[in-house]
């Protein structure tokens, strides 16, 4: 890289004065004589032989000249003289490389990775030299040098990619006449240059700092820091010895302790103990409150019923019931997002900020939490370590309910989903009872008021109820149509169904624009019986010429003109025909139905599985 050196051109900094300067009168009989001494860790005196330096004379001489090093003396391109009758002293400055510099003030000097230039940059200051005396310019390096020796004991001795000093100041304002260096405010990183002897070296500003030393080998980095701040002094060289190995510590971690020897030009007598860099402290998830929510907990997916976790420091905890193999997550407020979910790769907690983030990651990266066994769990979420632990305490523990009323609604009862017409259960203490008719395999639940929620639905174990405030709960069903006595014990959260009298078995028929052998058969005048298979399904092969329905006759009341129940397309279905490529869930009378139609006429095999119709065109 090119060297970066900001130089203030113009009049000498020494000559700054608000009044008009008097004419300069030189004494040509008194030439200023110079001697030089090269005092640096990078350049020996002999190595400057014949090189050009810049010499600047302060007030009242106020001039400068390039000069060539000749032994311990300087040969100036333009001679410098003491002033006539000069009695006050003059400060002289020498700069190498000179580069025709005319000011002793160098603002914003910036060290780059041009090691060759910065390692040879030197200055000399002779303050208050008396007129007529020989001026001694003792060149010194204004910066500090750091040498890193790396012993590579890694298996195979892979090549060292680079050595970097991190967190050092590389800029400063230089005032050479005052011999001051004012550090810049910002810290940066610098890559050390590779030396011929295998070491690495970098130039930095003198400063008190605790730099990080990073040795990079391939894609792995080894980091070391000083245990305390250390003062790097101008014109001194510091050597750090580093040993890399993979026998005692994994290479991904910090391999060894580092010892640094501070070396002056003459000797080395001070040592600093280095310590491996500690891992950066993890940042906690940005969470101030947490709630448990989902199918796997008592709250289901009701935001209002979400279960709060107690917070202590970075740890949230709660004791709650969890169902086996049912999903749940933690929300950070009474809203769906942000939430805490599971990282599929690590199993740890991850913060999911939005629905969009969940949608983008749920397939490959994010998941809900589950447990394999139902029970009462101590749940602990550590937002600093990003861990979630589940400790099973025992079986599910459900507190007694305190309900004042219950109603039954659903497909399984004659009043359907009507809240206004819903039959009410009778309450005696903690026991609710009702005797009512239930249809086979039709869903129903119990509501705690004339509203959809809260409700009692099917519990996680057989014979139990679950109190939910929303979501998509599992409803109750019974396998046989008939009159049942239902008993709910809210204290024990149990439910029982006693079949008092089963309905006589219905026989299913097809009626409508259909015929079997006689195409002239009158539409809607003949019931064509279906056959029940050993699998419990009803089937018939029949010709369909238009709309039709299924209807059942009770064997107890075989009145040909009485329809026990019908099955048809949903009245609310905007479609006019059924797509026979898929099964179709039919609607009962109570649910509201209409005639069934196919897109094409022809011969079909029709199969009823409960209320689900499948059709195959022959």
- What CA–CA distance (Å, rounded) separates 606 from 503? 25
Contacts of residue 486, defined as CB under 8 A and 6 or more positions apart, other chains included, come to 408, 425, 433, 434, 435, 436, 495, 496, 497, 498
Whole-number pLDDT of residue 601: 94
Across the range 223-245, mean pLDDT stands at: 82
Q: Which of 477, 502, 527 is the last residue of a domain?
A: 502
Whole-number pLDDT of residue 84: 83
Q: Do 258 and 312 reside in the same domain of the chain?
A: no
Is the confidence at residue 551, as pLDDT, over 60? Answer: yes
Contacts of residue 525, defined as CB under 8 A and 6 or more positions apart, other chains included, come to none
Q: Do 198 and 299 reside in the same domain of the chain?
A: no
Which one has a higher pLDDT value, 483 or 74? 483
The distance of Cα 53 from the centroid of its chain, to the nearest Å, equals 57
The answer to whether position 100 is within a domain reads: yes
Whole-number pLDDT of residue 456: 92
The strand pair at 144-153 and 237-245 is best described as parallel
Q: Do 111 and 167 reside in the same domain of the chain?
A: no
The answer to whether position 532 is within a domain reads: yes
Confidence category of residue 2, pLDDT binned at 50, 70, 90: very low
- What CA–CA distance (Å, rounded) separates 536 from 170? 86
Across the range 331-338, mean pLDDT stands at: 95
CB neighbourhood size of 182 (10 A): 11
Whole-number pLDDT of residue 279: 55
**Considering only 256-260, 277-281, 287-291, 487-491, which range has the smallest mean pLDDT?**
256-260
Paired residues of 587 in beta bridges: 568
Paired residues of 436 in beta bridges: 484
The answer to whether position 298 is within a domain reads: yes
Q: Do 237 and 332 reside in the same domain of the chain?
A: no
The answer to whether position 402 is within a domain reads: no
Q: Do 108 and 150 reside in the same domain of the chain?
A: no
Is the confidence at residue 272, as pLDDT, over 60? Answer: no
Which uninterrupted H or E stretch holds 358? helix 355-361
Nearest alpha-carbon partner for 175 in 121, 235, 102, 103 = 103
Residue 6 DSSP one-character state: -
Q: Do 149 and 269 reside in the same domain of the chain?
A: yes
Q: Do 381 and 317 reside in the same domain of the chain?
A: yes
**Considering only 145-149, 496-500, 544-548, which range has the smallest mean pLDDT?**
145-149
Give just the sign of the alpha carbon dihedral 156, 162, 165, 166: negative
Q: Do 389 and 301 reside in the same domain of the chain?
A: yes
Q: Residue 199 belongs to a domain with what CATH number?
A: 2.60.40.2630
H and E: helices and strands count for the chain: 2, 52
Residue 190 CB-half CA count within 13 A: 27
Angle, alpha carbons 526-529-534 (nearest 5°): 170
- Mean pLDDT highest for which of 424-438, 451-465, 527-541? 424-438
Percent of the chain with pLDDT over 90: 46
Is the confidence at residue 13, as pLDDT, over 60? Answer: no
The answer to whether position 281 is within a domain reads: no
Across the range 3-29, mean pLDDT stands at: 39
| pLDDT tens, residue by residue, 494-545 | 999 999 988 777 788 999 999 998 888 888 888 899 999 988 899 999 999 9
| pLDDT tens, residue by residue, 311-324 | 999 999 999 999 99
Q: Residue 50 belongs to a domain with what CATH number?
A: 2.60.40.2620
Domain of residue 208, residue span: 144-276
Across the range 147-153, mean pLDDT stands at: 86
Is the confidence at residue 576, as pLDDT, over 70? Answer: yes
Q: Do 462 and 483 reside in the same domain of the chain?
A: yes
SS3 label, residue 15:
helix
Whole-number pLDDT of residue 485: 97
Whole-number pLDDT of residue 553: 74
Whole-number pLDDT of residue 409: 96
Q: Do 453 and 524 reside in the same domain of the chain?
A: no
Q: Residue 465 belongs to a domain with what CATH number?
A: 2.60.40.3620
Nearest alpha-carbon partner for 480 in 560, 562, 536 = 536
- What CA–CA distance (Å, rounded) separates 147 from 232? 13
SS3 label, residue 146:
strand
Across the range 418-442, mean pLDDT stands at: 94
- Mean pLDDT highest for which of 88-92, 335-339, 503-507, 530-534? 335-339
Q: Residue 343 belongs to a domain with what CATH number?
A: 2.60.40
Q: Do 136 and 20 reside in the same domain of the chain?
A: yes
Tokens linked to 246 = 């993979």
Across the range 5-27, mean pLDDT stands at: 38
Across the range 85-93, mean pLDDT stands at: 90
Dihedral through CA 557, CA 561, CA 563, CA 568, nearest 10? 150
- What CA–CA distance (Å, rounded) separates 174 from 263? 24
Q: Rounded to the nearest 5°, which phi and psi values hold at 13?
A: -65, -30
Do 249 and 196 contact (CB within 8 A), yes or no? Answer: no
Q: Which of 340, 368, 394 is the last residue of a domain?
A: 394
Whole-number pLDDT of residue 589: 84
Across the range 42-56, mean pLDDT stands at: 68
Nearest alpha-carbon partner for 96 in 140, 152, 30 = 140
Percent of the chain with pLDDT over 70: 84
The distance of Cα 190 from the centroid of its chain, to the nearest Å, equals 30
- Number of separate domains in the chain: 5
SS3 label, residue 351:
strand
By CB neighbour count within 10 A (0-12 exposed, 13-18 middle, 19+ buried), where does 539 fall? middle
- What CA–CA distance (Å, rounded) separates 568 from 514? 15
Q: Which of 77, 110, 140 is the last residue of a domain?
A: 140
Q: Do 268 and 198 reside in the same domain of the chain?
A: yes
How much is the pTM?
Answer: 0.42
- What CA–CA distance (Å, rounded) separates 193 from 217? 15
Cis bond before residue 454 (omega within 30° of 0): yes
CB neighbourhood size of 471 (10 A): 17
Whole-number pLDDT of residue 336: 95
325 φ/ψ sector (left φ>0, alpha ψ -120 to 50, else beta): left
Whole-number pLDDT of residue 561: 46
Is the confidence at residue 138, as pLDDT, over 90? Answer: no
Question: How far apart, in Å, are the Cα atoms of 321 and each of 306, 324, 328, 331, 454?
Answer: 13, 10, 11, 17, 18
What rounded mean pLDDT belongs to the chain? Answer: 83
The answer to whether position 282 is within a domain reads: no
Confidence category of residue 41, pLDDT binned at 50, 70, 90: very low
The distance of Cα 257 from the centroid of its chain, to the nearest Å, equals 32
Whole-number pLDDT of residue 40: 40
The answer to whether position 419 is within a domain reads: yes
Whole-number pLDDT of residue 495: 96
Do 2 and 118 contact (CB within 8 A), yes or no? Answer: no
The answer to whether position 7 is within a domain reads: no
């Amino acid at each position: 890289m090119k060297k970066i050196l900001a130089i203030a051109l113009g009049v000498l900094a020494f000559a700054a004065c608000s009044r008009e300067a008097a004419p300069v009168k030189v004494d040509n009989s008194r030439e200023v004589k110079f001697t030089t001494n090269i005092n640096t860790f990078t350049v020996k005196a002999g190595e400057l032989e014949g090189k050009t330096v810049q010499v600047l004379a302060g007030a009242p001489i106020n001039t400068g000249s390039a000069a060539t090093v000749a032994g311990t003396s300087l040969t100036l391109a333009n001679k410098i003289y003491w002033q006539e009758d000069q009695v006050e002293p003059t400060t002289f400055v020498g700069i190498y490389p000179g580069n025709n510099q005319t000011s002793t003030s160098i603002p914003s000097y910036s060290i780059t990775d041009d090691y060759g230039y910065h390692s040879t940059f030197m200055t000399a200051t002779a303050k208050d030299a008396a007129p007529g005396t020989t001026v001694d310019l003792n060149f010194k390096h204004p910066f500090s040098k750091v040498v890193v020796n790396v012993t590579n004991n890694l298996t195979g001795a892979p090549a060292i990619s680079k050595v970097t000093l991190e967190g050092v100041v590389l800029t400063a304002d230089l005032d050479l006449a005052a011999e001051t260096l004012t550090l810049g405010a910002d810290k940066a990183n610098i890559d050390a240059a590779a030396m011929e002897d295998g070491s690495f070296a970098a130039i930095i500003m003198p400063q008190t700092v605790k730099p990080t030393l990073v040795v990079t080998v391939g894609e792995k980095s080894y980091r070391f820091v000083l245990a305390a701040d250390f003062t790097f002094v101008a014109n001194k060289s510091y050597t750090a010895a580093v040993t890399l190995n993979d026998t005692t510590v994994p290479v991904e971690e910090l391999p060894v302790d580092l010892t640094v020897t501070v070396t002056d030009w003459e000797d080395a007598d001070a040592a600093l103990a280095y310590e491996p860099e500690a891992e950066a402290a993890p940042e906690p998830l940005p969470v101030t409150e947490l709630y448990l929510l989902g199918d796997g907990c008592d709250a289901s997916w009701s935001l209002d019923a979400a279960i709060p976790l107690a917070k202590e420091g970075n740890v949230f905890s709660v004791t709650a019931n969890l169902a086996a193999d049912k999903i749940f997550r933690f929300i950070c407020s009474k809203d769906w997002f942000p939430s805490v979910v599971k990282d599929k790769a690590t199993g740890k907690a991850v913060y999911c900020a939005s629905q969009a983030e969940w949608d983008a990651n749920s397939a490959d990266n994010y998941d809900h939490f589950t447990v394999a066994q139902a029970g009462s769990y101590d749940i602990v979420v550590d937002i600093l370590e990003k861990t979630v632990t589940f400790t099973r305490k025992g079986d599910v523990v459900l507190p007694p309910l305190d309900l004042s009323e219950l109603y039954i609604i659903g497909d399984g009862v004659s009043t359907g989903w009507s809240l206004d017409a819903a039959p009410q259960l009778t309450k005696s203490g903690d026991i609710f009872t009702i005797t009512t008719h239930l249809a086979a395999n039709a869903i129903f639940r119990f509501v705690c008021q004339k509203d959809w929620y809260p409700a009692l639905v099917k519990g996680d174990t057989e014979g139990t109820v679950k109190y939910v405030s929303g979501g998509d709960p599992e409803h109750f069903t019974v396998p046989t149509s008939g009159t049942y006595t239902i008993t709910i014990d809210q204290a024990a959260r149990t439910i029982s169904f006693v079949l008092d009298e089963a309905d006589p078995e219905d026989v299913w028929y097809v009626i409508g624009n259909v015929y079997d052998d006689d195409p002239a058969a009158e539409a809607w005048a003949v019931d064509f019986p279906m056959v029940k298979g050993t699998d419990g399904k009803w089937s018939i092969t029949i010709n369909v010429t238009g709309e039709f329905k299924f209807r059942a006759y009770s064997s107890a009341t075989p009145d040909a003109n009485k329809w026990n129940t019908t099955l048809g397309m949903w009245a609310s279905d905007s479609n006019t025909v059924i797509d026979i490529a898929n099964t179709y869930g039919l609607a009962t009378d109570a649910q509201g139905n209409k005639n069934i139609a196919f897109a094409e006429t022809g011969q079909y095999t029709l199969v009823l599985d409960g209320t689900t119709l499948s059709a195959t065109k022959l």
